[in-house]
Structure 1
Amino acid sequence: MMLVFGVVAVILLVTALASGIVERFPLSFPLMFLGLKLVLGKQGFGANELGPHDQILEVTATLTLAPVLFLDAAQLQIKELGRRWLVPSLILGSGTALVISLGAVPLALLIGFGWVIAFISGAILASTDPVVLREILRDHRIPRSVRQVLRIEAGMNDIVALPVILVLIAVATGDVGGGGQWVSFLLKLLVLGPAIGFAIGGVGAWFMRQLRNRWR
């Protein structure tokens, strides 16, 4: 366990020191981390025995992904979004549904997945990874309008894809049965969850404004 933490600490330190160099080359940190996993994992030196469902990995991923999503949301230009709302709306609405379907139909017809499992897989694949896109969003050679749309899609597509995934998982596993349980499940998913998210975001925004006003 200590070896794992030591390896992670060294990797993070080297990553921070080499960030300026990496930005000058056609590389991204997710690809570098993937390569390090192959080198240090069972296929390589065997120094890292973490599995995909290891609790340490899940906690680390959650703690690192949350700041990334927060920073992406903080960098959104709301006024600019208001003027260019059509493309993000299409991407998050019909565009996401189309991508889910395009991913699900081949899985069902060509590979033989059940339709529910196929649509779960399609919804998972339809969700753009904001971490992978970070290097693209920092590339100023790409027009600002394109980067803005990609940032919105990467940061907000889970609003569409995640409920679809959770509902389909509930259907596939049969964990939710009966009208009352479905009503409770959907209320928690579509009402209570977003309400808590908006409340936390509102408190965070208020706190940041207070800090900014205090230190002016």
Structure 2
Amino acid sequence: MREAGIVVALVVASTLVATYANRWRVPAPSVLVVFGLLVALIPGVPAVRTTPELISLVVLPPLLYASAQDISARELRDIWRPVAALALGLVLATAFAIGGIALWVTSLAAPMAFVLGAVLASTDPVAVTALGRRLPLPPRIQALVQTESLFNDATSLVLFQVAVGVAVGTDGVNLLAASGRFVVLAGGGMGVGAALALLVIALRARTADPMLQTVIALVTPYAAYVLAQGAGVSGVTAVVVAGVVVGSAGHRVTDARIRLQVHAVYGVIVFLLESVVFALIGLQLPTFVRDLPPGTSWWPLEAAALAGALIVVRVAWMRPTVALAAPTRGYPAWPLARVMAWAGTRGVMPLAAALSIPLTADGGAPLTDRPLVLVLTTTVVAITLTVQGLTLGRVVRSSGLAVDPELLAAQEAEVRTSLDEAALEFLDNLGDGIPPQVVDRLRRRYNARLGGHEDGAWPVGDFARLQRAVIDVQRAELRRLYADGRINDAAQRRFTHELDRTENGIVR
């Protein structure tokens, strides 16, 4: 009963903190980590410990799935080269660099130093997505940062498994076996995710019940993760691929009412899970510190050195990558490298990996370095979420890459004008069957919108039926603008959501 009370109190407190952080326009993950740390330092607060299963099975799937649905297949086709260079090359370079530095500056033995390098090698999609929602980055750069974090799991997971096998004495280093394991993990995860996504799309296309549609949407990420893990492949990759495929086809298999309901339910779940999981990172750090053996009192400086090294390695790798990759060649190389390096925060996934390190070696001897790996991992995560998270907006604005709000508003106004003009053209070409006064009233409404004046009346009957037909025309115009490359995926999703809300508000 006491544990349940602690969980409820944490959920309520974290939700309040995240709500006010969003209202104050500061990154909620950064504030939540600090909040969790401050709470843990209060005398009498019980020690909090989470299991890797809680994070990887309960928390990660819906958060990854929601992030992946923001990535479209078209965006992936445009940015796959830099994503591959980062998800493969940068993860490998980071793992070996951090492992070598950890061996130099910490008391970790060589095998556990490289376990730490593998744990910290990949950026965290949950943290990157949560931090990047309010950044005024160009859409393609935003997509590159987010997609990299979604697809580098398979590489870091293979490295982690190899490093742990060496540390516990069950395996040697076999590069050929590691390469084969990567192909199985990544390729198998992609196959499971894609197959499940096609099944989900078929089910949702044949289901008109909003409640059942919502249940299917909630179950999908958990099903993808469990099926993939059961098959011995990457559950994270399966969830990401399922999210991308379902997200790209979702608008074709659901109506406005269902999309709005699923969006609202998922928004609440993502908000609650993010609020709790980032607070847990700060909340657990003092507990891990108390478990440290004697002789490890330099861990704060060691963690700071590792966090700095992560940024240096990312900058060194980003500079040639963004200069050579086609989707990013048009941007200034150094400012872009700086922004992408600063956006490479660590978060929930490294913590889950560190928690899954076995307690004992193959012969039964305890892994004495495990507590230090946990402390260093959690501290580096906390540093990146607070230091980088709180200053990322400033780095973006000073880079010259930030999108001008006035330009963005002008582009949105241009899209709205195109949609309203398409509506007027449809009304002008209407044949018989609709009373002229109804058509005239709707025509006056869209003429008023083009002139900057909004008519708020929503009559019923023929007008409502005609309004739905006009919204269908506007959706077709939106698809045309997207196909012609005049709007990006984010804008298409935003305007689709507006049209869904308009349609849902029509009196039935």
Are 1:210 and 2:209 counterparts? no
Structure 1: which amino acid aligns with 2:131? I
Cross-structure match for 1:195: 188
Q: CA RMSD, aligned part only?
A: 3.2
Cross-structure match for 1:136: 131
Report the more deviating stretch, 137-146 or 162-171. Answer: 137-146
Instruction: Give yes or no for contact 1:4–1:48 (8 Å, CA) kept in 2.
Output: no
Cα 1:120–1:152 change in 2 (3 A) is same
Larger Rg: 2
Cross-structure match for 1:154: 149
**Higher RCO (CA < 8 A, seq sep 6+):** 2
Query: C-alpha separation between the residues in 2 aligned to 1:87 and 1:186?
Result: 20
Shift of 1:169: 0.8
Shift of 1:162: 0.7
Instruction: Give yes or no for contact 1:40–1:46 (8 Å, CA) kept in 2.
Output: no
Query: C-alpha separation between the residues in 2 aligned to 1:151 and 1:30?
Result: 16
Query: C-alpha separation between the residues in 2 aligned to 1:176 and 1:101?
Result: 18
Cα deviations by residue, 1:38-68 (Å, 9 ceiling, x for unpaired) = 3433x214333223xx44x742563111111
Cross-structure match for 1:65: 60
Cα 1:122–1:48 change in 2 (3 A) is same
Cα deviations by residue, 1:69-123 (Å, 9 ceiling, x for unpaired) = 1112222112111022221111112122222222122222333544332222112
Query: C-alpha separation between the residues in 1 aligned to 2:20 and 2:198?
Result: 34
Structure 2: which amino acid aligns with 1:6? G
Report the TM-score when normalising by structure 2.
Answer: 0.36
Shift of 1:130: 2.0
Query: C-alpha separation between the residues in 2 aligned to 1:5 and 1:60?
Result: 17
The 3-state SS of whatever aligns with 2:134 is coil
Structure 2: runs of 5 or more not aligned: 209-254, 256-508
Cα 1:146–1:170 change in 2 (3 A) is same
Query: C-alpha separation between the residues in 2 aligned to 1:120 and 1:154?
Result: 19
Structure 1: which amino acid aligns with 2:167? A
Cα deviations by residue, 1:106-161 (Å, 9 ceiling, x for unpaired) = 22233354433222211211221222212332124122222211111211111111
Alignment: residue pair count: 207
Instruction: Give yes or no for contact 2:115–2:163 (8 Å, CA) kept in 1.
Output: yes
Cα 1:134–1:211 change in 2 (3 A) is same
Cross-structure match for 2:30: 31
Structure 1: runs of 5 or more not aligned: none
Shift of 1:28: 3.4
The 3-state SS of whatever aligns with 2:129 is helix
Report the TM-score when normalising by structure 1.
Answer: 0.77
Query: C-alpha separation between the residues in 1 aligned to 2:108 and 2:45?
Result: 36
Please list, as runs of the form range in 1=range in 2, the aligned pairs for 1:4-83 lying within 5 A after superposition: 4-13=3-12, 15-16=14-15, 19=18, 21-41=20-40, 43-51=41-49, 54-55=50-51, 58-59=53-54, 62-83=57-78
Query: C-alpha separation between the residues in 1 aligned to 2:170 and 2:55?
Result: 28
Query: C-alpha separation between the residues in 1 aligned to 2:13 and 2:105?
Result: 44
Cα 1:18–1:174 change in 2 (3 A) is closer
